[in-house]
């Protein structure tokens, strides 16, 4: 339940701030009692939930509210409601965790909502529920964290006792900066199978430009292909042991891709911010009904990763006040960003683009990213072409000038 510290420091105030509480010894005893009773209640509800196979808040409330209050002395009605919500949250969306009852550590962090605490920001005192009544505890913190607590709307908080130090981690609602009008066009990003992402400036991500455990893309590609083969093999086998390995693999893969997507989206947003541009990505939602599968969907292995990259970028761009747009992905890999000529013949070889009309040549993913950037500028996703046959040949007129693309071709 602990809230992870936000890394969005440079984009404004943090979204989770940590305060240090200074309870008197009797107050500390009361807070300790609160932690124990809440965690004990949650574990009790969790066992009940697991025995009865009941995992939704509503059903759990009906099932557990009275028994838990009879069982846990001092647990108030609102604390019981919170405990039920916690249990439901612990079982949500995780089939694996339903194999056994979830146990809440007796001294683990406990959540406080608006009904269990109140703030006196002028005095820098927070009032917290405990089984023996409210305690009014003064708090301190880093200057920027105090400023956030003083000025922003406050959400839920986690109460933690770490080696005798009392902490309150509070979520704050950041003001949403209005997206600035991009002054230098759009930074287009192509998501590929071979290269995870290539920008319209020709930067390959995650490349050496990004710090991290993986340098360059050869490693990523090799890893993905190895995993793909391994997965096929295991799926064919189908034994329980093979299924177990498969699950572990997918977890590791998931974490690796999530980490890479964070790195890529962070780089893209920072680059757009630095150069006064918006960000354009291909809209994966819009390509579902197509006759031919889009190149990103042909291999479903990492389909979710492309969607995740879009979400990460959208979220980080919103925080930084950067314009973000999704464009029509049709023929981004076959259209020429210079003369507009669109043809499959523009792709003589894998990874290579050569316009058969004007001769523009370059890395296929880079060309695609330039097309994406242009469509971001055009602000609309229009390609009026007969694509039922999958053989585009009509000429697409240039809709606008390409953005300040510095990458050579």
Q: How far is the CB of 357 from Zn ion (least distance, A)?
A: 5
| DSSP H or E stretch at residue 262 | helix 240-275
59 sits in the region (left: phi over 0; alpha: psi -120 to 50; else beta) called alpha
- Of the pair 293, 358, the CB lying nearest Zn ion is at 358
Site for Zn ion in 146-175 (CB under 5 A): none
- Let me know how long the chain is: 409
Residue 308 or 334: which CB sits closer to Zn ion?
A: 334
**Residue 360 is a binding residue for Zn ion (CB under 5 A):** yes
Instruction: Please tell me the count of residues contacting Zn ion according to CB under 5 A.
Output: 8
Least CB distance from residue 359 to Zn ion, whole Å?
Answer: 7
> Could you say which DSSP state residue 168 is in?
E
In terms of CB distance, is 261 or 346 closer to Zn ion?
Answer: 346
**Within 13 Å and on the Cβ side, how many CA atoms surround 309?**
31
What's the closest the beta carbon of residue 392 comes to Zn ion, in angstroms? Answer: 14
Under DSSP, the state recorded for 345 is: G
Nearer to Zn ion, 275 or 356 (CB): 356
Q: Which is nearer to Zn ion, 228 or 357 (CB)?
A: 357
CB 356 → Zn ion: shortest distance, Å?
A: 8
Pair 127, 120: CB distance under 8 Å:
yes
Q: Where are the beta strands (DSSP E) in 318-405?
A: 324-327, 352-354, 361-363
Quick one: 91 or 341, whose CB is closer to Zn ion?
Answer: 341
Least separation in angstroms between CB 340 and Zn ion: 7
Exactly one of 223, 345, 358, 391 binds Zn ion (CB under 5 A); that residue is 358
Task: Tell me how far, at minimum, the Cβ of 364 lies from Zn ion, in Å.
Answer: 14
Near Zn ion by CB under 5 A, which window of 30-38, 311-319, 360-368, 393-401? 360-368
What is the nearest approach in angstroms of Zn ion to the Cβ of residue 360? 5
Contacting Zn ion within 105-134 (CB under 5 A): none
Residue 152 main-chain phi, psi, to 5 deg? -100, 155
**Parallel/antiparallel/unpaired status of strands 154-162 and 135-140:** unpaired
Q: Which long-range contacts (CB under 8 A, 24 or more apart) does 298-302 make?
A: 299/193, 299/228, 301/224, 301/227, 301/228, 301/231, 302/193, 302/224, 302/257
- The token pair at 136 is 């009014």
**By C-beta, is 314 or 366 nearer to Zn ion?**
366
> Please, what is the minimum distance in Å from the beta carbon of residue 355 to Zn ion?
3
The interface with Zn ion within residues 316-355 (CB under 5 A) comprises: 336, 338-339, 341, 355
Closest CB to Zn ion among residues 59, 338: 338
Binding segment for Zn ion (CB under 5 A), chosen from 29-37, 77-85, 270-278, 357-365, is 357-365
Helix (H, G, I), strand (E, B) or coil at 6: coil
Q: Which stretch binds Zn ion (CB under 5 A): 217-225, 289-297, 300-308, 356-364?
A: 356-364
Write the DSSP assignment of 9-52 as a string of letters: GGGSS-SEEEEEEE--HHHHHHHHHHHHHHHHHHHHHHHHHHHH
Residues that bind Zn ion (CB under 5 A): 336, 338-339, 341, 355, 357-358, 360
């Amino acid at each position: 339940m602990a809230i992870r510290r936000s890394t969005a420091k440079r984009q404004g105030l943090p979204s989770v701030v940590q305060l240090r509480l200074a309870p008197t010894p009797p107050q500390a005893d009361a807070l300790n009692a609160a932690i124990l009773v809440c965690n004990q209640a949650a574990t009790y509800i969790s066992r009940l939930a697991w025995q009865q196979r009941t995992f939704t808040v509503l059903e759990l409330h009906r099932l557990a509210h009275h028994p838990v209050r009879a069982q846990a002395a001092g647990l108030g009605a609102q604390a019981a409601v919170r405990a039920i919500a916690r249990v439901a949250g612990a079982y949500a969306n995780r089939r694996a965790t339903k194999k056994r009852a979830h146990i809440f550590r007796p001294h683990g962090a406990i959540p406080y909502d608006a009904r269990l605490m109140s703030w006196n920001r002028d005095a820098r005192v927070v009032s917290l529920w405990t089984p023996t009544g409210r305690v009014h505890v003064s708090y301190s913190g880093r200057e920027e964290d105090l400023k956030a607590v003083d000025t922003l709307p406050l959400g839920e908080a986690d109460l933690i006792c770490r080696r005798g130090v009392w902490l309150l981690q509070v979520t704050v609602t950041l003001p949403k900066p209005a997206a600035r009008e991009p002054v230098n066009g759009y930074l287009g990003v192509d998501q590929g199978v071979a290269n995870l992402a290539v920008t319209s400036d020709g930067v390959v991500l995650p490349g050496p430009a990004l710090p991290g455990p993986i340098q360059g893309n050869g490693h990523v590609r090799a890893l993905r292909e190895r995993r793909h083969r391994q997965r096929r093999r295991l799926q064919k086998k189908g034994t329980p042991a093979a299924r177990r390995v498969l699950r572990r693999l997918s977890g590791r893969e998931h974490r690796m891709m999530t980490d890479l997507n964070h790195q890529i989206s962070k780089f893209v947003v920072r680059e757009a911010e630095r150069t006064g541009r918006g960000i354009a990505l291909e809209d994966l939602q819009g390509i579902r009904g197509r006759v031919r599968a889009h190149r990103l969907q042909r291999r479903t292995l990492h389909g979710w990763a492309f969607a995740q990259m879009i979400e990460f970028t959208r979220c980080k761009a919103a925080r930084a006040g950067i314009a973000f747009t999704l464009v029509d992905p049709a023929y981004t890999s076959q259209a020429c960003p210079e003369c507009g000529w669109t043809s499959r013949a523009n792709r003589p070889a894998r990874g290579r683009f050569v316009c058969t009309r004007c001769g523009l040549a370059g890395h296929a993913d880079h060309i695609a990213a330039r097309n994406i950037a242009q469509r971001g500028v055009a602000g609309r996703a229009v390609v009026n072409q007969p694509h039922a046959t999958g053989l585009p040949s009509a000429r697409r007129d240039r809709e606008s000038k390409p953005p300040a693309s510095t990458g050579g071709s």
